[in-house]
Chains A and B, each alone.
Chain A
Amino acid sequence: MDITINKQMVQKNEKEKDFTPVFKINNLNLWYGQDHALKDIKFDIPEKQVTAIIGPSGCGKSTFIKTLNRMVEMVPIVRMSGEIVYREKNIFDPKYGVEELRTQVGMVFQKPNPFPKSIYENVAYGPRIHGIKNKKVLDEVVEKSLRGAAIWDEVKDRLHENAYGLSGGQQQRLCIARCLAIEPDVILMDEPTSALDPISTLKVEELVQELKKDYSIVIVTHNMQQAARISDRTAFFLNGEVVEYTDTSTLFSNPSDKRTEDYITGRFG
């Protein structure tokens, strides 16, 4: 009983807020073998806002964000049902190519994963595989993306040095620049600051605020303060279910579910 009431409240909250959804998730279920990792997920992700996904370890938040660009299918034993509608198209439709989806929905990973190439080549990689060969165009894209990721000034004199010479925080911003270079629509961030020091974390958080003017951002974080600081809407995941999804200020100041309250006040997780 309790849960159904809450679900109604969640839906009511969503109705109150009107926004253009970029993703509509309908009854998404996901299994790793026998393990039911996502249960009947149903909510909409707004355009040009920051949506935070919070929850304790193992609640399915990383799994969820990876279904949005279908990276979760790298795991061979994964099974899914339901649908995710991205801009009016079901991403699980066999006619909708997974590469096409991923050029629209970029991703930044938990651990910075630059390619073992120069800084320039890292950023130019995406445009290159999508057929852009003109050197001048590439130069412009590289500069624009590095500026967009607020790292240009730090690397402009060493563009042709190996990316592994950068610090962890710089590498992460380089990965964000690499993602920006193909001009995506949505950027998914899977705990992008968990491997970074506080100063680098601050820089990435500022960058996220800057980026949401042009991009829709979904960010997974296990840091509740971070979610409160940078996101517009927050979804609280627990045991593969969405317990509560509403705008961030409401969720943190006036949670409607007891479990959300317990989690954000630090009673578990």
Chain B
Amino acid sequence: MVSRDKSNQKSIRSMIQENKSSRSQSAVMEKVVPKLFLICAIISIFTTIGIVFTLLTETFTFFNRISIVEFFTNTRWFPFAADKHADFGIIALIMGTLTVTAIAMVVAIPIGLAAAIYLSEYASAKTRKVIKPILEVLAGIPTIVYGFFALTFVTPLLDKIIPGGISIFNALSPGIVVGIMIIPMIASLSEDAMNAVPNSMREGALALGATRFEVAMKVVLPAALSGVIASFVLGISRAIGETMIVTIAGGSRPTADINLTESIQTMTAYIVQVSQGDTGYGTTIYYSIYAVGMTLFVFTLIMNLLAQFISRKFREEY
């Protein structure tokens, strides 16, 4: 026995010795691999810089033709009119985007949050195991399918419900459907945040005679607030950037008026409309999509900064 042990030891020792000879090779790997990873990181950074640079230069060209003051104060957006009569007032597009986003959040925040509270505070482990994957499937449906759902199911339904009917293209239907699309995201992310709240805190509140609802609303939700708000803001960002649903069901008539039953156009839908058309390179309309894209970019950037600020302010350390 002993001799065999010894021979075993020897063989391992000799294997280590053998491997030592290849150390130089692994030393090279050790030097090269981090550089490879750095290059990958740089690729994504440069892509971002490149996109922002393109956006900026083309936007700059656009503002050489249309004054920035007009762009942000004019409430009419009629780029396809004959040269002298064309209007480039982005407010009309911004209003379309904000209307759809507001409707979506009115739908998604209460339902998503309620679903998250149910999953985290009430559902048994079994129920959660069934519901969470279903939510994730919902999140995986392509947005174009949601778009047709809005146009062919929700709009006719709303037309029956709303007295006086509703236009075939309108703000309400895509708004609701964008909201439905965002529910799983808010529910899932908020549930993660609430699940991360230690159980000892729930026990502390329950031991004081709190009901489960009081525990959820006054202990778990405040403790998870930063994560919950982050999920709302991600939802808002997603709604602002959502393209397919609003293109299909929202229509293409930009307006600064708030009328939920009439056709609208969002910033994203306008970019789609121009990209699909036969607009020539170098025309004002061509440059306008960059200006709109830049505005969209600034919007989401502000949203994200705001989110960081809010979640830092509301964070409850535990």
Kindly state the separation between the CA atoms of A140 and B222 in the bound complex, as whole angstroms.
25
Q: Mark A67-98, 1 if CB is under 8 A from B, else 0.
A: 00101001010000000000000000000000
Is A175 on the interface with B (CB-CB < 8 A)? Answer: yes
Residue of A whose beta carbon sits closest to that of B204: A113
Q: Mark A100-128, 1 if CB is under 8 A from B, else 0.
A: 11110011010101111100000001101
Kindly state the separation between the CA atoms of A128 and B125 in the bound complex, as whole angstroms.
31
Which residues in A have their C-beta under 8 angstroms from that of B208? Answer: 102-103, 106, 125-126, 129, 178-179, 182
| B210 CB contact (under 8 Å) in A74, A76, A129 | A129
Kindly state the separation between the CA atoms of A100 and B124 in the bound complex, as whole angstroms.
24
Is B211 on the interface with A (CB-CB < 8 A)? Answer: yes
| Nearest CB in chain A: distance from B228 CB, A | 14
Please tell me if the beta carbons of A99 and B210 are within 8 angstroms of each other in the complex: yes
Kindly state the separation between the CA atoms of A178 and B209 in the bound complex, as whole angstroms.
12
| A113 CB contact (under 8 Å) in B203, B210, B214 | B203
Is B278 on the interface with A (CB-CB < 8 A)? Answer: no
Kindly state the separation between the CA atoms of A106 and B204 in the bound complex, as whole angstroms.
10
| B223 CB contact (under 8 Å) in A101, A102, A115 | A115
Q: Mark B167-208, 1 if CB is under 8 A from A, else 0.
A: 000000000000000000000000000000010110111111
Instruction: Tell me the total A-B contact number using a CB cutoff of 8 A.
Output: 71
What is the interface residue range for chain A against chain B? Answer: 20 to 34
Residue of A whose beta carbon sits closest to that of B199: A74
Which residues in B have their C-beta under 8 angstroms from that of A99? Answer: 209-211
Q: Mark B253-268, 1 if CB is under 8 A from A, else 0.
A: 0000000000000000
Is A252 on the interface with B (CB-CB < 8 A)? Answer: no
With most chain B CB atoms within 10 A of its CB, the pick from A100, A102, A111, A162 is: A102
| Nearest CB in chain A: distance from B315 CB, A | 9
Kindly state the separation between the CA atoms of A179 and B125 in the bound complex, as whole angstroms.
30
| Nearest CB in chain B: distance from A125 CB, A | 7
Q: List 8 A-B contacts (CB under 8 A).
A: A76-B124, A102-B206, A113-B201, A125-B205, A125-B208, A125-B219, A129-B210, A162-B316
Known: A69-B207, A129-B208, A182-B209. 19 other contacts (CB 8 A): A71-B206, A74-B206, A76-B125, A101-B209, A102-B206, A109-B207, A111-B200, A113-B198, A113-B200, A114-B204, A115-B201, A115-B223, A116-B318, A125-B205, A125-B218, A126-B209, A162-B317, A175-B204, A182-B208
